[in-house]
């Protein structure tokens, strides 16, 4: 068998989204299968990629240029759907993060960061990218804080 077809996602190397050109995040089949509706379960190679660009409708794609869009998902995922929870495991939303910023606290974000280290975090199946949401949460917090300080008080 051609080695190219039995590679693990980790050694496939980077692949760019066929629509927007963003660098894809390698995901295992367990991850994307958990996110897409059942009728799309056979739609991609096991080793697929997540497109992280929020404005792009492609969620997953593979090296054969097959794509799965947001309409094929079981539910909206961040950042494709800005109203979807930032964290698939614990349901932290952008509203929660904004509430922290508004109140000048980090209660909700800190709570999430704590939980994310525990056994309740199941990013492999609960996160669309298969990765921890911690980076997204921190980025969103910084962005929201900057947006707040830009506004005249
Ligand atoms: Zn894309």
Residues contacting 129, CB < 8 A, separation 6+: 25, 27, 31, 50, 52
The confidence band for 1, taking pLDDT boundaries of 50, 70 and 90, is: very low
Q: Percentage of the chain with pLDDT > 70?
A: 90
Q: Mean pLDDT for the chain?
A: 91
By DSSP bridging, strand 67-69 and strand 48-50 are: unpaired
> Distance, CA 92 to ligand 1 centroid (Å)?
24
Does 4 score more than 80 pLDDT?
no
> Distance, CA 129 to ligand 1 centroid (Å)?
13
> Distance, CA 46 to ligand 1 centroid (Å)?
19
The confidence band for 149, taking pLDDT boundaries of 50, 70 and 90, is: confident
CA-based nearest residue to 102, from 147, 138, 133, 61: 147
pLDDT tens-digit map of 62-103: 999 999 999 999 999 999 999 999 999 999 999 999 999 999
> Distance, CA 100 to ligand 1 centroid (Å)?
30
Model confidence pTM above 0.95:
no
What distance in Å separates the CA atoms of residue 118 and residue 101, rounded to the nearest whole number?
24
User: SS3 breakdown of the chain: % helix, strand, coil, rounded to 5?
Assistant: 40, 10, 50
> Distance, CA 30 to ligand 1 centroid (Å)?
20
Does 10 score more than 80 pLDDT?
no
What distance in Å separates the CA atoms of residue 45 and residue 5, rounded to the nearest whole number?
9
Q: What is the pLDDT of residue 150?
A: 80
Q: What is the pLDDT of residue 11?
A: 54
């Amino acid at each position: 068998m051609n080695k190219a077809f039995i590679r693990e996602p980790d050694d496939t190397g980077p692949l760019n989204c066929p629509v927007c050109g963003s660098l894809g995040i390698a995901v295992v089949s367990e991850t994307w299968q958990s996110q897409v509706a059942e009728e799309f379960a056979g739609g991609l190679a096991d080793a697929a990629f997540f497109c992280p660009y929020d404005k792009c409708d492609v969620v997953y794609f593979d090296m054969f240029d097959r794509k799965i869009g947001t309409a094929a998902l079981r539910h909206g995922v961040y950042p494709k759907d800005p109203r979807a929870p930032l964290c698939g495991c614990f349901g932290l939303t952008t509203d929660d993060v904004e509430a922290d910023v508004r109140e000048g606290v980090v209660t909700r974000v800190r709570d999430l960061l704590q939980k994310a280290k525990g056994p309740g975090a199941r990013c492999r199946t609960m996160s669309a990218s298969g990765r921890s949401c911690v980076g997204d949460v921190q980025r969103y917090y910084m962005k929201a804080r900057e947006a707040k300080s830009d506004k005249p008080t």
